[in-house]
Amino acid sequence: MRTVRAFGSVVAAVLSAVALSGCMHRPGPVASGHPQGGAIAALRNSFASTARPHYAPAPGPRVIPARAAYGPRMTVPAYDSDYRLDAGDKLRVVVYGQEGLTNSYAVGASGAITMPLIGSVQARGLTPAQLASRVADRLRNGYIREPYVAAEIEAYRPFFILGEVAAPGQYPYVPNMTAESAVAIAGGFSPRAKRDSVTLTHTSSAGTMRAVVPPATPINPGDTIVVGERWF
């Protein structure tokens, strides 16, 4: 019996020593002599080092960060700066840093172009600069943080020539054309053509204008020229 009691006393003493040792060496957030200024700083750093929970962003449009390198600005000819777009025009739209959006776009019969991400953008009646601004606004609304967009005419809508010419029809417009050069593109006057004047029809945002003008009169994209027949 004395041996058993002695053994029990030894076991109890060992367990007590282990418990006291665990209490004395248990780590805490306060560190003595902390380099940032004592216990308060130690607590602050302890809480700051705690990992914060990660919250997934709410679903919505995917935002594409614009790249830092934009490249040189495009030079738009002076004629293009006042030119009003309409169906048949073809534009080069550049969204700097976004190769998937930079492309050639044709203005459709509805007067709009269709681009990735933003879909249909109305272009009829706008200048190229105004269209670029409209595209940038649409991209900024949930797609690209700071888009830089430029637009220039790649091909003008065609002009039409009818009446007493060798090959009436629709032809590509070239800047600085006159009615006379349009006649030349259409194969020249027919033998019965009236050569001192033509009828020119021009449509703009202000309406449609029709006038009898001399052959040296400048024409615009989309104009219609009618060469009349002489009576003698």
Specify the pTM: 0.62
The two tokens of residue 230 are 């002489």
For residue 48, is pLDDT > 80?
no
Nearest to 146 by CA among 66, 61, 64: 66
**Structure tokens that stand for 67 in this block:** 């790249």
Q: Which helix (H) or strand (E) holds 224?
A: strand 224-227
Q: What is the pLDDT of residue 46?
A: 40
Q: Are 144 and 168 in a shared domain? A: no
Same domain, 131 and 173: no
pLDDT attached to residue 155: 95
Q: Work out the pLDDT band at 110, boundaries 50, 70, 90.
A: very high
Do 112 and 100 lie in one domain? The reply is yes
**In angstroms, rounded to a whole number, what is the distance separating the alpha carbons of residues 7 and 90?**
100
- Helix (H), strand (E) at residue 119: strand 119-122
Q: Which residue has the higher pLDDT, 182 or 56?
A: 182
Is 166 found in the same domain as 132?
Answer: no
Domain-embedded: residue 32: no
Position 230 pLDDT exceeds 80:
yes
CA 68-72-77 angle, to 5 degrees, is 140
CA quadruple 100, 102, 104, 105: dihedral sign: positive
CA distance 16 to 26: 16
3-state secondary structure of 140: helix
Say if 46 falls within a structural domain.
Answer: no
DSSP assignments along 56-114, one per residue: PPPS-PPPBPPPS---PPPPPPHHHHHPPP-TT-EEEEEETT-TTT-EEEE--TTSEEE
Average pLDDT, the chain: 76
- In the numeric block, the tokens 């600005």 are attached to 73
Q: Could you report the per-residue pLDDT of 188-228, keeping only the tens digit for each?
A: 999 999 999 999 999 877 889 999 999 999 999 999 999 99
What CATH number does residue 119 fall under? Answer: 3.30.1950.10
Q: Is residue 94 part of a domain?
A: yes
Q: At 98, is the pLDDT very low, low, confident or very high (cuts 50, 70, 90)?
A: very high
Domain boundary among 137, 155, 173: 155
- Residue 201 sits in a domain whose CATH number is 3.10.560.10
Q: Does residue 164 share a domain with residue 216?
A: yes
- Cα–Cα distance measured from residue 64 to residue 99, given in angstroms and rounded to the nearest whole number: 12
Among residues 124, 123, 192, the alpha carbon closest in space to that of 164 is found at 192
In a domain, 102, yes or no: yes
Do 106 and 132 belong together in one domain?
yes
Query: Residue 81's pLDDT is what?
Result: 62
Residue 98's domain comprises 78-155
**68: pLDDT strictly greater than 70:** no
Q: Is residue 43 part of a domain?
A: no
Cα distances from 31 to residues 23, 25, 44, 56, in angstroms, run: 16, 13, 12, 35
pLDDT on residue 170: 96
Quick check: 98 and 180 in contact, CB under 8 A?
no
Residue 112 Cα to chain centre, angstroms: 15
| Residues 150 and 163 grouped into a single domain | no
- The total number of structural domains in the chain stands at 2
Say what the pLDDT of residue 62 is.
Answer: 46
pLDDT given for residue 85 in this prediction: 94
Q: Which of 117, 134, 155 is the last residue of a domain?
A: 155
Q: What is the pLDDT of residue 18?
A: 42
User: Do residue 201 and residue 137 come from a single domain?
Assistant: no
Residue 170 lies in a domain: yes
Reply yes or no on whether the pLDDT at 9 is more than 70: no
